[in-house]
Amino acid sequence: MPETPSPVDLLRLDGRVALVTGATRGIGWAIARTLAAAGARIVVNGLGDRQVVSERAADLRREYGVETLPMAADIGDAAAVMGMYRAVAGHFGRLDILVNNAGILADALIGMIPDAMVEGALRVNTAGAIYNLQAAARLMRRGGGGSIVTISSIVGLRGNAGQTVYAATKAALVGMTLSAAKELGPYGIRVNAVAPGVIDTDMTAHLDDATRGALVGGIPLGRAGRAEEVGQVVLFLVSDLAAYVSGQVVGVDGAMVL
């Protein structure tokens, strides 16, 4: 009778290829580091300075000894996304994991929301995630399966004054996840989402002390989360330890939504 793998063994990702969008900072960088520490080969996606993307990929190679591929691409550009996946297929010949993380903030009160904000947030946060989901699914189907995790937000689940646009884009990712899990399950592709709450990153660094205090005051665990804590939940979801978990939205929010 074959020996049952230990939970620690099931968390290992040795040899698997993982693409993390928006991986050069914040939650994306924490996720990339966590997956690399588990043995995954990492496609590091970022927007803008190619040198920064390349440096992040080099950091992962040096720290964890895993193969990496830097890919500077705008995930809100369908053609750029397709080019990225062609490069991944050509380099690795496969894709096992997609973490749909890249996103932008869009804060404005109703009545003061500019058209450009609506278009930009939908293009990056929602359309970009769909472009990546579709391209990743094609590669994963060829390889016999895979795992996709999309980073939504607590705001997409409960809303927040002044963030109508951002909440709409993040709520859309929940519907995308639930639908894709049903459609892709027969191909061995698991699809889940993570909904972080208040996490210490560059995206929350702009908050003044009063706003931050009010937010943290509403968290039963009494503190903001760390980006690494989001990465650890993503690791669980993409690993074999979660082999029967699909179509779920996991909150990482210190019980803020209860």
**What's the pLDDT at 213?**
75
* pLDDT digits (tens), the chain, 258 positions: 567 888 888 999 999 999 999 999 999 999 999 999 999 999 999 987 899 999 999 999 999 999 999 999 999 999 999 999 999 999 999 999 999 999 999 999 999 999 999 999 999 999 999 999 999 999 999 999 999 999 999 999 999 899 999 999 999 999 999 999 999 999 999 999 999 998 888 766 666 676 777 777 888 888 888 999 999 999 999 999 999 999 999 999 888 865
Q: How many CB atoms lie within 10 A of CB 169?
A: 28
Catalytic residue numbers, as ranges: 166
**What's the pLDDT at 172?**
98
**What's the pLDDT at 257?**
66
Cite the beta strand spans of 85-234 per DSSP E.
Answer: 97-100, 146-151, 189-196, 199-200, 225-226
SS3 of residue 223 by DSSP:
coil
Could you read off the pLDDT of 12-30 as tens digits, one per residue?
999 999 999 999 999 999 9
58-92 burial code (b ≥16 CB/10 A, e <16): ebbbeebebbbbbbbbbbbbbebbeebbeebbeeb
Please give the C-alpha separations between residue 22 and each of 47, 99, 136, in angstroms, as whole numbers.
Answer: 7, 9, 16
Domain coordinates in residue numbering, the chain? 7-252
Could you read off the pLDDT of 56-113 as tens digits, one per residue?
999 999 999 999 999 999 999 999 999 999 999 999 999 999 999 999 999 999 999 9
H or E element at residue 79: helix 78-92
**What's the pLDDT at 190?**
98
**What's the pLDDT at 205?**
63
Candidates 76, 110, 81, 116; CA nearest to 98 is 81
Expressed in angstroms, the distance from the first to the final Cα of the chain is 44
Please give the C-alpha separations between residue 56 and each of 11, 30, 33, 43, 190, in angstroms, as whole numbers.
Answer: 23, 11, 10, 10, 28
Give me the CATH code for the 7-252 domain, please.
3.40.50.720
How many residues does this entry show for the chain? 258
The one-letter code for the residue type at 226 is R
SS3 of residue 17 by DSSP:
strand
**What's the pLDDT at 217?**
80
